[in-house]
């Protein structure tokens, strides 16, 4: 009998996944440990290794199939000595192994407090009724990255250096014509309405999970917010000195061993604050508040697939160069959708930094089951009075979102005061 290859459970919460790519085709030899496929879970795209050896006899679920249930058969492996005739004896347990149109089911959440393997989420929000149809007909297409244009339009756009993605097409189904390109070069005041009224962008599994978790967090977690300003001139000076020291160590035609960002210093300051105030390194459960003995910091990273929070583990024990290099590696893997489960599952505290976008102040949504998340804004020069004289200082706003069930207001304020101490006196990070 052929060996069944089934959809694996690649995370504790996974119940289904998308079969992104097959790396072996029918007839290929397969060895144990070889990567045979890529699976898109609700968190990331992960590689699947073969457990048995043999020949790929039949691919049951084609690449690109969505919402494949865990333990569904996705391929058949022929053992040594078997040929394709043995495939005739295999019968699927179900008439349809995969239905691309099936709706994703809710992920089971229940887990005991003792089993702190994966984040536990609040009960799912009630399913909302479908939106009413539009009052008038609209032409809606599936979103695609390809831009449709006539060959002549493409040639003219290439000659004139025009980005076709910025040109509105008036041809059939929004196709860009010569007239559209010429109109774009003229810069005239003619307003042309795109015949395709809207595009439909399918939600990825990751985007669905983000939407569900954020909704559950705001509905079920009693948030409150604490905000203060930190002066960061001394922090910026220390950062400049450390980066200059790294540059001095750089070999010719090489890269510096590290390059610190403000966010790296924020991660270090938060980790030391949690070491000093472990009562904020907690999660809320109905039976107990769980206080973590290790300082693992989740850091929000924006990707094309949605927001994900890779973890810098034991950040309080790591040097700034270690944190910086690890964070860069994690962020790159997150943007490539290549994080392993252990690199984004868990964590006791989150940081979300939008300072690089010029955002001065914002309130982040708590990442359950964590009790706190720190929102970090941009540095801004302001004028302060000192001894009757105006002094220009650079301030950075930090806002702590807190789960009031696990952390009280006074404790949250104590956390921010301790964090402010490390930011304004960065030498304390090296003591």
State the catalytic residues. Answer: 404
DSSP 8-state class, residue 316: G
Q: Report the C-alpha dihedral over residues 106, 112, 118, 122, rounded to 10 degrees.
A: 50
The residues that bridge with 69 in the sheet, in sequence order, are: 16
**Cβ-based neighbours of 58, under 8 Å, separated by 6 or more:** 2, 26, 75, 76, 87
**CB-count exposure of residue 170 (10 Å: 0-12, 13-18, 19+):** middle
**CB-count exposure of residue 402 (10 Å: 0-12, 13-18, 19+):** buried
In 168-259, alpha helices (H): 178-186, 205-220, 233-248
Tokens, residue 142:
């599936």
Distance of alpha carbon 140 from alpha carbon 134, whole angstroms: 12
Task: Tell which residue, 256, 276, 269, has the closest CA to residue 315.
Answer: 269
């Amino acid at each position: 009998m052929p060996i069944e290859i089934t959809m694996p459970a690649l995370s504790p919460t996974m119940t289904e996944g998308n079969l992104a790519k097959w790396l072996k085709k029918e007839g290929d030899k397969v060895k144990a440990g070889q990567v045979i496929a890529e699976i898109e879970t609700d968190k990331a795209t992960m590689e699947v290794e073969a457990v048995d050896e043999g020949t790929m006899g039949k691919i049951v679920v084609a690449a690109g199939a969505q919402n494949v249930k865990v333990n569904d058969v996705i391929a058949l492996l022929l053992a040594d000595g078997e040929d394709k005739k043995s495939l005739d004896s295999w019968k699927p347990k179900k008439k349809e192994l995969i239905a691309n149109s099936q709706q994703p089911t809710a992920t089971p959440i229940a887990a005991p407090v003792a089993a702190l393997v994966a984040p536990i989420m609040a009960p799912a929000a009630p399913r909302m009724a479908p939106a009413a149809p539009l009052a008038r007909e609209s032409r809606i297409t599936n979103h695609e990255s390809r831009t449709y244009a006539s060959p002549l339009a493409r040639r003219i756009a290439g000659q004139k250096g025009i980005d076709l993605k910025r040109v509105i097409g008036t041809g059939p189904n929004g196709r860009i014509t010569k007239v559209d390109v010429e109109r774009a070069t003229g810069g005239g005041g003619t307003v042309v309405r795109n015949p395709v009224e809207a595009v439909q962008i399918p939600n990825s599994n990751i985007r669905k999970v983000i939407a569900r978790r954020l909704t559950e967090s705001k509905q079920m977690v009693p948030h409150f917010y604490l905000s203060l300003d930190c002066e960061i001139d001394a922090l910026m000076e220390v950062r400049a000195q450390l980066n200059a020291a790294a540059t001095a160590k750089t070999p010719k035609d090489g890269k510096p061993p590290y390059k610190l960002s403000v966010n790296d210093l924020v991660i270090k300051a938060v980790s030391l604050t949690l070491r000093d105030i472990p009562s904020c390194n907690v999660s809320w459960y109905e039976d107990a508040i769980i206080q973590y003995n290790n300082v693992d910091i989740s850091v929000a990273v924006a990707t094309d697939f949605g927001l994900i929070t890779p973890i810098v583990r034991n950040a309080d024990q790591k040097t700034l160069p270690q944190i910086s290099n690890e964070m860069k590696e994690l962020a790159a893997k997150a943007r490539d959708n290549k994080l392993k489960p252990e690199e984004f599952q868990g964590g006791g505290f989150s940081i979300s930094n939008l300072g690089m976008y010029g955002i001065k102040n914002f309130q982040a949504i708590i990442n359950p089951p964590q009790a706190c998340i720190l929102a970090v804004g941009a540095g801004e020069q302001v004028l302060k009075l000192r001894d009757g004289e105006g002094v220009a200082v650079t301030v950075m706003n930090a806002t702590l979102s807190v789960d009031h069930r696990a952390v009280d207001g006074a404790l949250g304020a104590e956390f921010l005061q301790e964090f402010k101490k490390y930011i304004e006196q960065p030498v304390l990070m090296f003591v």
